[in-house]
Structure 1
Amino acid sequence: MSQRLRRTRHTVAAAAVTAALTLSLAACGSGSDSGSGSGHGSGMAGMEHSAMPSPSASDDSMASMPGMEPAAAGDGLAAEKSGYRMTARSAGLPAGKAAGYRFGITGPDGRPVTRFAVDQTKRMHFYAIRSDLTGFQHLHPTMGGDGTWTAPLAALRPGTWRLYASFVPDSGAGKGKSFVLSRTVRVPGTATASPLPKASGTTTVDGYTVTVKGAPMAGMAHQLTATVTRNGRPVTDLQPYLGTYAHLTAFHQDDLAFAHLHPETEADGGHGGPTLSFHAEFARSGDWRLFLQFQTGGTLHTTALTLHVG
């Protein structure tokens, strides 16, 4: 195992123990466990991965604005933790069209943070999820010289969305520590909620079948395994994606609490699969929505399923 992977797992384990990251799972944009989605043109509703940015601005003193609601530290629901704050001027985004969401991270000294460590090949991971846990997006924004990040969100459906920034400072008091901060935004229009699909260990996307196994219990570390097959045959041509062969994110049904389930191995070639292992810790019981991303033939696939944690 490489030094980079050991360092990543050490950071994640420490964050899980001290912050008790939780998960919240929601329906795919199609409202079912079947569908297709990728970052390169597949059509799974609510699973977009690219968009064109639009102008906005950031602000470093927005604690009382909408989207800065208090929540328990460590579950991704707080806008501020240990002096680090996610800031943004806009509390809303347009419906039905791509928009660039601009935000910043300020440190304990109140100044913009501009130095970030690489975590799974990126300096910033950004996620969007609707309140009914549909419309999942996982993006990698770009940072301007002043520390302002721009996340190119694909078109959003009306409703309330929570936006998460996952990062590791490379300087200051929080150097080397993992943070997940979030804000909410409102997208205007009539919002119709999709029901959460029932818990199931199997889902499909773009002709691939993904089976997740494990019996997680709240408050305990467990291993989850995901196996990818196609037409009943094991898939062994998974390509590296963010330094590994799959990326797994989860959200809790009740409050959209966040957890990033880290892979236990890193990619060492272009022929991964069919079985992938993840380190998972769930802070409380209930239904969670898992979003699994993997790449084949240059296409990114995103699928989802509901997992019950005892």
Structure 2
Amino acid sequence: MNFSSRFTLRRRALAAAGTAATLALTLAACGSSGDSSSMPGMDHGGTSSAASSPRATASTDDMPGMDHAAGGNGLSGNQDGYRLTSSDRSLAAGKQAAYRFAVAGPDGKPVTRFAVDQTKRMHFYAIRSDLTGFQHLHPTMAADGTWSAGLASLTPGSWRMFASFTPDSGAGKGKDFVLGRTVTVPGGATRTPLPAAAGSTQVDGYTVTVKGEPMAGMAHPLTVSVAKDGKPVTDLQPYLDTYAHLTAFHEGDTAFAHLHPTTKVNGDHGGPDLSFHAELPTAGNWRLFLQFRTGGTLHTAALTLRVG
């Protein structure tokens, strides 16, 4: 075989190898496409999405973080080396209580530097397993990194405590975290059924209406309108650098989601329509808590939203 023939055969072999490699990469890419159904549920419906999501089912206070939403869903006390610690495993029923906790960094030391988010360095939430008793607090931190959240009276049952924060130093600097732990309140617990999904609710004489049809796993705009005595409200006051603070919790596992406001603040002239960026990973019912301020008073409206 002369040189020209050997060169031609070598080129054909290389071309065949290249085609095979390209085909292999294409098949691998097709097999690795994401599946949004594997994300943990924020389902507030009668059937918890935890049953259909292995990762949601496995969530516990002591497992590594399972951040499947922006900042995490609070179903774990650990994420990326950060750990929510507390010696308070139970709190007394029927009276105010201080829940003390700390955030340990990847080096095992308490984190003491936190970035400001919506005017606060730490947002703390408490919710009972049946999604009643919602509390949103801004605890104080001691020099050693120990936080203290002054909770209002708690009813007997299982509660989940959430710490939402952004480290201002270390490996997680600039990253949002939501870590959670459960607390037991002793006594005879009576479970309250979740109210049916509805487009509006009333609180303190105000009517709050939610418009939008979020789809699971997709970003979707959500509009909240506030009215009183049938008239649009236009005197909402800023609260945490926005006109309303909106959080959601998943029935069954109490997974957490923060719906980010997109309406710009312009003095005490908020309303009647407020826009939010909603991205809820799993279909089902969610319990929404909207906090807004008028005349120096903070109002908290709650309703159930169905996500398709």
Normalising by the smaller structure, the TM-score range is 0.7 to 0.9
Aligned with 2:240: secondary structure?
A: coil
- In structure 1, the partner of 2:189 is 191
- Number of residue pairs matched? 254
- In structure 1, the partner of 2:50 is none
Q: 1:155 to 1:184 in 2, by over 3 A?
A: same
Q: For 1:68-79, list aligned pairs within 5 A.
A: 68=62, 72-73=66-67, 74-79=72-77
Deviation, 1:20, is 6.1
Q: Deviations over 1:138-158 (max 9, x none)?
A: 000000000000000001000
- Say whether 1:23 aligns with 2:42: yes
Q: Could you tell me which amino acid in structure 1 is paired with residue 42 of structure 2?
A: L
Q: 1:271 to 1:22 in 2, by over 3 A?
A: farther
Distance in 1 (alpha carbons) for counterparts of 2:80 and 2:260: 23
Contact in 2 for aligned 1:21/1:76 (Cα 8 Å)? no
Deviation, 1:178, is 0.4
Contact in 2 for aligned 1:25/1:133 (Cα 8 Å)? no
- In structure 1, the partner of 2:132 is 134
Structure label with greater radius of gyration:
2
- In structure 2, the partner of 1:293 is 291
Q: Could you tell me which amino acid in structure 2 is paired with residue 184 of structure 1?
A: T
Distance in 2 (alpha carbons) for counterparts of 1:71 and 1:191: 29
- Say whether 1:273 aligns with 2:292: no
Distance in 2 (alpha carbons) for counterparts of 1:275 and 1:22: 28
Distance in 1 (alpha carbons) for counterparts of 2:44 and 2:301: 12
Name whichever structure is richer in helix by fraction: 2
- In structure 2, the partner of 1:149 is 147
Distance in 2 (alpha carbons) for counterparts of 1:254 and 1:71: 19
Q: Could you tell me which amino acid in structure 1 is paired with residue 134 of structure 2?
A: F
Aligned with 2:136: secondary structure?
A: strand
Distance in 2 (alpha carbons) for counterparts of 1:152 and 1:196: 26
Distance in 2 (alpha carbons) for counterparts of 1:303 and 1:24: 19
Q: Find 1:109's aligned residue among 82, 87, 107.
A: 107
Deviation, 1:103, is 0.2
- Say whether 1:305 aligns with 2:299: no
Aligned with 1:185: secondary structure?
A: strand
Under a length normalisation based on structure 2, what TM-score does the superposition of the two structures give? Answer: 0.79
Aligned with 1:262: secondary structure?
A: strand
Deviation, 1:72, is 3.3
Distance in 2 (alpha carbons) for counterparts of 1:149 and 1:75: 20
- Say whether 1:167 aligns with 2:183: no
Give the gaps of 5 or more residues in structure 1: 1-16, 27-65
Contact in 2 for aligned 1:250/1:289 (Cα 8 Å)? yes
Q: Could you tell me which amino acid in structure 2 is paired with residue 161 of structure 1?
A: W
Q: Find 2:225's aligned residue among 224, 227, 230.
A: 227
Distance in 1 (alpha carbons) for counterparts of 2:302 and 2:267: 25
Distance in 2 (alpha carbons) for counterparts of 1:307 and 1:175: 34
Deviation, 1:278, is 0.4
Distance in 1 (alpha carbons) for counterparts of 2:222 and 2:132: 22
- In structure 2, the partner of 1:14 is none
Contact in 1 for aligned 2:111/2:167 (Cα 8 Å)? yes
Deviation, 1:24, is 5.5
Q: Deviations over 1:7-66 (max 9, x none)?
A: xxxxxxxxxx9x96853559xxxxxxxxxxxxxxxxxxxxxxxxxxxxxxxxxxxxxxx9
Distance in 1 (alpha carbons) for counterparts of 2:192 and 2:148: 29
Q: Deviations over 1:231-265 (max 9, x none)?
A: 11000000000000000000011211100001013
Q: Find 1:120's aligned residue among 118, 121, 124.
A: 118
Distance in 2 (alpha carbons) for counterparts of 1:252 and 1:154: 22
Q: Find 1:202's aligned residue among 200, 203, 208.
A: 200
CA RMSD of aligned residues (A): 1.8
Contact in 2 for aligned 1:290/1:306 (Cα 8 Å)? yes
Q: 1:280 to 1:243 in 2, by over 3 A?
A: same
Aligned with 2:278: secondary structure?
A: strand
Aligned with 1:128: secondary structure?
A: strand
Give the gaps of 5 or more residues in structure 2: 1-35, 46-59
Deviation, 1:215, is 0.5
